[in-house]
Amino acid sequence: MTLVAGIDSSTQSCKVLVCDAATGRVVREGHASHPNNTEIDPAAWESATRQAIAAAGGLDGVDAVAVGAQQHGMVCLDATGRVVRPALLWNDVRSADAAR
């Protein structure tokens, strides 16, 4: 059986499905929540991804992986590529009054 995996990292959680490529049948799955904030340490996304993969039984034997993620956030990096502050998400409305 050829296995494929899909990883979806959304605003609220990370979900992993491992499926039979021929039939689409879900063979195993995992899930891990993200913190519920408007600012999040990007390391929390990595941690949730690792937890969801583990909950899905890992990726051993998986022939292909597709990844999708929420894209409405800003991760600030320094000149060496290190995160310098928590990521600001789309639901941060602190600047709403200034935008009016």
- Distance CA(90)–CA(65), nearest Å, equals 27
Residue 23: which domain range? 3-99
Alpha helices in 1-100 (DSSP H): 42-55, 96-99
In a structure prediction context, what are the per-residue pLDDT tens digits for the chain, which is 100 residues long?
A: 999 999 999 888 999 999 999 999 999 999 999 998 889 999 999 999 999 999 999 999 999 999 998 767 888 999 999 999 999 888 888 888 888 8
CA of 20: how far to CAs of 14, 33, 46, 60, 80, in Å? 20, 25, 25, 14, 40
Question: How many domains, the chain?
Answer: 1
Contact 41, 48 (CB under 8 A): no
Tell me how far apart the 2 most distant CA atoms of the chain are, in Å. Answer: 56
pTM value is 0.85
**In this structure, what CATH number is given to the domain that contains residue 56?**
3.30.420.40
Write out the two tokens for 32: 């891990």
Return the closest-CA partner of residue 44 out of 78, 89, 79, 80: 89
